[in-house]
Amino acid sequence: MYTTTAYAVTDGPASDMGIWHHKIPVEVLELGSDAVAIDERIAPEPGEHVIVKKHASAFFGTNLASLLRAAGVDTVIVTGVTMAGCVRHTVEDAIGYGFRPIVVRECVGDRVAGVVEWNLFDIDAKFGDVEPLETVLDYLDRIEPFEAASARVAAEAG
């Protein structure tokens, strides 16, 4: 699953930005602009979801929890920026929705020095697990792909 924060209407009473425009420049997060595009180096494959969110958390106001539950997911691996905003709020909501959050230490960032390390410490203490990239990749290598697991379950039930 991929997320981006973007707004179709960024000013006036019909804004889908709420009052966030009082804190950030609205033109920065315009829907369809390069600023909110997923980096082409990690672009979604056909069939992968891109959720356009309006708030920091990938869960708040989106269908992410429903999509994950429908796919039988119980653990979320969180990467991205901004550590003190989107990453942290996503992790906090993930555990609130009953998912085990894992943050990949080398795959998060922030524009403010020190914010990453402090938030990694606090998340690891309270909300989820912080793991190095190598550990997460090893974990993913051991997981049976969804399609294979579905076929196996169907065969066992048949």
Active-site position among 17, 83, 86, 136: 86
Q: What is the CA radius of gyration of the chain?
A: 17
Alpha helices, H only, the chain: 64-70, 88-96, 115-126, 133-142, 146-157
- Cα separation, 141 vs 6, in Å, equals 33
94: left (phi over 0), alpha (psi -120 to 50) or beta: alpha
Residue 107 falls in the annotated catalytic set: no
Catalytic residue ranges: 86
